[in-house]
């Protein structure tokens, strides 16, 4: 092939061509690193810490959990809500358990009164020493409630089974 030697002389006759040839040679000899670990998933169990939980919510990691089929009216205020239960909490509620397992969680998306815009979340996560409560109503990730002692949350939820006030969700 006569073209290859001519092309090689043209490419290698300039510093830029030599650099390009070097990069191409390295790339041709390289093989992809198949041993690199996969990045950790952000969508595992909800973390009971406010900064991490806010990021977890904004990533909508709970989106595949059993949930209300659509936004519905809230019995507590004029907002619309949509409730999501972690699989372990959905199973526990369906089983009528007196206490729910550690790691069980509920996410309530809170919507504007016309049910069109999500304006916040309220979350409860069962921990080994009770429930962690979290509520966020701004787009900057500032929690209005974050902690284990949240009287505004527990006063409403104390009527529920192990502080969970919900009904069975569709399919459970």
Over residues 78-116, the pLDDT tens digits come to 889 899 999 999 898 888 888 889 998 989 999 999 999
Q: Is residue 92 part of a domain?
A: yes
Q: How far apart are CA 7 and CA 22, in angstroms?
A: 15
User: Are 87 and 134 contained in the same domain?
Assistant: yes
Mean pLDDT of 1-16: 49
User: Are 72 and 136 contained in the same domain?
Assistant: yes
Q: Quick one: CA dihedral 151, 155, 156, 159, positive or negative? A: positive
Q: How far apart are CA 86 and CA 63, in angstroms?
A: 10
Nearest to 71 by CA among 120, 123, 108: 108
The pLDDT assigned to 13 comes to 60
pTM of the model: 0.66
Q: Is residue 167 part of a domain?
A: no
Give the residue numbers spanning the domain of 24. 1-31
Q: Is residue 66 part of a domain?
A: yes
User: Are 77 and 6 contained in the same domain?
Assistant: no
Q: Which residue has the higher pLDDT, 13 or 133?
A: 133
Where do we find the tokens 């040839």? 21
């Amino acid at each position: 092939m006569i073209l290859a030697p001519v092309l090689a002389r043209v490419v290698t006759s300039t510093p830029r061509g030599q650099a390009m040839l070097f990069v191409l040679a390295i790339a041709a000899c390289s093989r992809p690193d198949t041993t690199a670990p996969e990045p950790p998933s952000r969508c595992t169990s909800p973390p009971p810490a406010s900064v991490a939980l806010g990021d977890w919510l904004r990533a909508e990691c709970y989106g595949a959990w059993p949930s209300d089929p659509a936004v519905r009216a809230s019995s507590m205020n004029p907002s619309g809500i949509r409730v999501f239960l972690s699989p372990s909490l959905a199973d526990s509620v369906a089983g009528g358990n007196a206490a729910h397992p550690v790691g069980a969680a509920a996410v309530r998306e809170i919507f504007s009164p016309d049910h069109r815009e999500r304006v916040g979340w309220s979350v409860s996560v069962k921990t080994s020493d009770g429930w962690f409560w979290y509520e966020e109503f701004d787009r900057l990730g500032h929690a209005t409630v974050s902690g284990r002692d949240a009287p505004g949350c527990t006063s409403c939820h104390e009527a529920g089974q192990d502080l969970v006030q919900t009904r069975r969700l569709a399919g459970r």
